[in-house]
Structure 1
Amino acid sequence: MPRPSPADKRKTFRELHQRGCFVIPNPWNIGSARYLQGLGFKALATTSSGYAHSLGLADGAITFDMALAHCRELAEAADVPVNADFENGYADDPEEVAENVRLCVDTGVAGLSIEDFNGNEADPLYDFDLAVKRVRAAREAIDKSGTGVVFTARTEGFIHGRPDLDETIRRLKAFVDAGADCLYAPGIKTREQIEAVCKAVSPKAVNFLNSGAFGFTVAEIGAMGVRRISVGGTMARVAMHAFIASARAIAEQGKFDSFAGVISNAELNAFFSDDVKKRSS
């Protein structure tokens, strides 16, 4: 059976946003992407923080060229749609954002997101009008590509010290008018916040970042109106947390107890060997 083409994956990804609620976990390398795919997840998304940390860098330190290469790597490795965490488009100017979005689309991703965080924690969000122009420019670039890539517009106030729900909704509604397919306000976490955002932009899809133990199940989040649930860099941090705890126990206590019960080399070999056979058949 031939592997799905980028066009196939883009069509599938768009259909996933039309109804129901799905989880889009965030791998940080090819191995984690293929394992998640093997578990049956219908789509995946890159994580800027998870990828950066795997390279020994801080979140936000990935260069534009590195981001493109990573998007291409995961899009080619996965048989399911991959959404790109494209941060702020790696530019401030709308025309530059549009050009960078064009290059991101060329990597084969099925979707991408653009955020309104400008990199300045003292005044973290792009001016409202500029933020809208940037979204509109990204939309136009995707339309010109003719690819059908799903476009997600994000507003970052809740994770950058500006937890203003009214302003968040104002921006998201403007992003809808500017052409976003999916809306995303990372950092909202209460039922009231989630439902307010979903209601404000309905019938457009909403992505909810479940980066903590908020106590909601997938079914409960879906019932609030969310179509897509991502986890950001949390799964990458779970892996890093286990690694750090194990390393500390050895370094500080001379104990190897953390090795008990871990997945075996043989199990991983079997999984990835089967995965290769499936993709080559």
Structure 2
Amino acid sequence: MASTSATPVAAPAPDAARRLVRLNVVVGLAHLAQAVLILILAEPASLPVDVSYLVGPPGEGSYGGPAELFALRVDHAVAAFLLLAAVDHLGVVSPWTRRWYLGNVARGVNPARWWEYSVSASIMVVLIAMLSGITEGTALLALFGVNAAMILFGLVMERVNVDRGAVDWQPFVLGCFVGAVPWLAIALQFAVSADSGDGVPGFVYGIFVSLFLLFNTFAINMWLQYRGRGRWADPAFAERVYLFLSLGAKSALAWQVYGGALAGS
């Protein structure tokens, strides 16, 4: 099986290649502009990251804390995932990497996409978790890691299916299984919060539903691509869909967080 690390020779048709380059530039600049706007417009807001600890023998002792480790600036976290996307989209079509990117797309892969998502989407999930009331640093670290693992299953899915006749769906299935964990954890936090008081703010429920649906459209796009359904039989079309989904998901979270927590009074 050919490796995706080698410099590809093939490329999409010239018209498709030009469209991909232009779209990456537009999407990258849109992410960059939004990051700058968030940093300019947003009122500073922070959420605590803390940890509880055992005092005494397990089963006999009690728990101390929570001790605050640090405070996460929400506006900086939003700007971070937007800037990561901007670097990815503008970087892959730079003169130094454009041929590599287009050649990979022609073969139905894009390693850069998954490396960027593994960090940016995991920041997004951690931010949603924190807005729902999850503050434990160990839990947030685990949610970041499990979401990154889900994303990297996408990378594996592409790698193992390069030049294959029959599609190996195992990485896709495992990725979907792993990817459900953060959403189940956040849903549990919603349930506990609702039972113990007024619950989380309404805008956080909107974020949860909208981002859950948007995140799942990435999996649907991959499924359609590997099933070869309609226009998804063209790898360049599937790549364009990924670009629109990236812009839609990150923009939706950024401005919902801004409206709910960063706009000020």
Larger RCO (CA within 8 A; separation ≥ 6): 2
- TM-score, scaled to structure 1: 0.28
**Structure having the higher Rg:** 2
The structure whose residues are more often helix, as a share, is 2
- TM-score, scaled to structure 2: 0.29
